[in-house]
């Protein structure tokens, strides 16, 4: 037993020794982004190699706020991401439940179409989607245009379908025998069992909404409706680029995501593992 424990300890030490440099390689760009956010514009392009923070972060943030109202843009991004994540998780869960537990004509065709949509790049559908939302529905510069068009997520549907397919059908049949209605089975039995998968999907969808740049850029032309990535992009002008403000804004955009992932990584890993068991 002692030799086995020592062997396990040596393996763990070797594993951490191999992964530590990889972690440092991944963290180094984030660290340099933080360092650049604390430096003036002329210091960022200095020929000297600077690895430690300076004292110009507050000034960069003031310039960023004066140019873009970044706090307001962050508030819009947070609101859009939260609403989008909740609605998209519920929509994909209902679609995944129907595809996993109900048999109907054309079910395999629907699944094939959903799988096929994953291969389509967003650039293929963005122009017809923009024409439909902005010209036909006249919803440009509204929260509806920001949230509703990207709601249906094909990968999320397949993700939830896999989770519901792994659940024992006898459990739901017993509930039907007891007279439980279908919507109650879905809300009170299926969704609680799929909580780890829903948590992982919610993190992914929140990241998708938080980092979304192209669609908010196209559908909104009012400064008061800009999301944070779009507001950050406005700092790149034809004659002037506020690199210090861009680095400060990028740092503020990245920090919440890192905090959320570290706080919820247990749920994320559990949900991914639960979807990969079958």
Tokens of residue 195, six digits? 């909580």
Alpha helices in 102-242 (DSSP H): 107-118, 122-130, 143-147, 154-165, 169-177, 182-185, 191-193, 195-211, 214-219, 228-233
Q: What is the pTM of this model?
A: 0.84
Tokens of residue 164, six digits? 């519901």
The answer to whether the beta carbons of residues 248 and 59 sit under 8 Å apart is: no
Q: Residue 117, Cβ neighbours under 10 Å: how many?
A: 14
Per-residue pLDDT of the chain (278 residues; tens, 9 = 90+): 556 677 777 888 888 888 888 888 888 888 888 888 888 877 777 777 778 888 888 888 888 888 888 999 999 999 999 999 999 999 999 999 999 888 888 888 988 888 888 888 888 888 899 999 988 888 888 899 999 988 888 888 988 898 888 888 888 888 888 888 888 889 888 888 888 888 888 888 998 899 899 899 989 888 888 899 998 888 876 567 778 888 889 888 888 888 877 777 776 666 555 554 44
Tokens of residue 149, six digits? 């068009």
């Amino acid at each position: 037993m002692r030799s086995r424990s020592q062997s396990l300890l040596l393996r763990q030490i070797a594993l951490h020794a191999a992964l530590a440099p990889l972690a440092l390689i991944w963290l180094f760009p984030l660290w340099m982004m933080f360092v650049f956010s604390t430096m003036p514009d002329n210091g960022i392009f200095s020929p000297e190699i600077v690895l430690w923070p300076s004292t110009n972060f507050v000034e960069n943030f003031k310039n960023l706020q004066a140019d873009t109202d970044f706090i307001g843009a962050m508030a819009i991004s947070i609101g859009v991401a939260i609403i989008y994540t909740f609605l998209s998780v519920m929509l994909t869960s209902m679609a995944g439940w129907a595809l996993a537990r109900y048999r109907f004509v054309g079910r395999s065709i629907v699944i094939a179409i959903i799988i096929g949509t994953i291969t389509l790049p967003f650039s293929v559908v963005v122009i017809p989607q923009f024409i439909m939302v902005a010209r036909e529905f006249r919803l440009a510069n509204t929260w509806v245009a920001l949230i509703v068009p990207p709601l249906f997520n094909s990968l999320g549907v397949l993700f939830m379908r896999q989770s519901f397919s792994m659940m024992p059908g006898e459990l739901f049949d017993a509930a039907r025998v007891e007279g439980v209605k279908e919507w109650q089975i879905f809300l009170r039995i299926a969704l609680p069992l799929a909580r780890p998968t829903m948590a992982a999907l919610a993190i992914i969808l929140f990241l998708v909404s938080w980092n979304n740049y192209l669609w908010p850029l196209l559908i909104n032309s009012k400064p008061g409706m800009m999301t944070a990535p779009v507001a950050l992009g406005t700092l790149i002008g034809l004659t002037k680029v506020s690199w210090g403000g861009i680095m400060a804004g990028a740092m503020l955009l990245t920090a919440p995501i890192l905090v959320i992932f570290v706080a919820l990584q247990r749920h994320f890993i559990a949900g991914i593992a639960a979807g990969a068991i079958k």
